[in-house]
Amino acid sequence: MPVEITWWGHATCTVEDSGVRLLTDPLFARRLAHLRRRRGAVPPPEAAVADVVLVSHLHADHLHLPSLARLAPGTRLLVPRGARRAVPGLARAAGLRGLSVTELVPGEEVAVREGVRVRAVSARHDGRRLPFGPHLAPALGYVVQGAARTYFAGDTGLFDTMAEEVGPVDVALLPVGGWGPYLGPGHLDPGRAAQALARLAPAAAVPVHYGTYWPVGMDAVRPHEFHAPGEEFERHARQLAPKVAVRVPGHGERVRLP
């Protein structure tokens, strides 16, 4: 059975595998602090329907409490270990909504339903809740192991042991940009994401984490960094990983892979 991926924008995707719906880093806001949603409609209510939610790290555009408040009672959250300590609002939100929270570190694996498991893997990213806050929880990626093996990288830079830690995968959801004109350390741009793709060697890949949010008042500053990363990743992938089928969905578009 193939896996189906719906990209809702930024790092938010629905992964459907073996009858299980997994949602990555839900962000359903029209505006977040200085960021405004510049492309793609705010996801519809169906986007919040999930059996399991994968939260990669504590930044507010990945662990967004108002978006978690849209989840149905009983939804299971997988978060980095230490998240509840670092973000007290997470425990309150989970209690109010009846959400089940499981904290993980790289290497830990949980069963979410018979035949579907999720394994936490390392990411190279400063995932602190505040830019200068303490390191209380690691940034994570996740591998969903069902009928297919799907890697959601979260936010990460390229690192030497990536392929070894992630292991064989069929589908890779890789970040290729960000929400501003310049990427800091701990991120993948289209070229580095294509290098990661060559190392991972999945059957298929989808670029994420680009082309959705942008700082207010900066539309004219390096606009190619907003619009172009998906297509640039596809171009680099043809050179570095020509056997990988790259799909570049629009906001809200569902694709079937591999």
Query: For the residues 14-29, what does the mean pLDDT come to?
Result: 98
Q: Find the largest Cα–Cα distance for the chain.
A: 49
**What is the pLDDT, as a whole number, of residue 1?**
57
Nearest alpha-carbon partner for 152 in 98, 78, 102, 241: 78
Q: What is the pTM of this model?
A: 0.96
Q: Is the pLDDT of residue 44 over 70?
A: yes
High-pLDDT (> 70) share of the chain, %: 99
Percent composition of the chain: helix, strand, coil (DSSP 3-state, to 5): 20, 30, 50
Q: Is the pLDDT of residue 188 over 70?
A: yes
Q: Is the pLDDT of residue 2 over 90?
A: no
CA 52/CA 120 separation, integer angstroms: 14
Query: For the residues 126-133, what does the mean pLDDT come to?
Result: 77
Would you give the end-to-end CA distance of the chain in angstroms? Answer: 9
The string of pLDDT tens digits covering residues 90-105 is: 999 898 889 999 999 9
The string of pLDDT tens digits covering residues 131-187 is: 667 778 999 999 999 999 999 999 999 999 999 999 999 999 999 999 999 898 899
One-letter identity of residue 25: D
CA 154/CA 248 separation, integer angstroms: 17
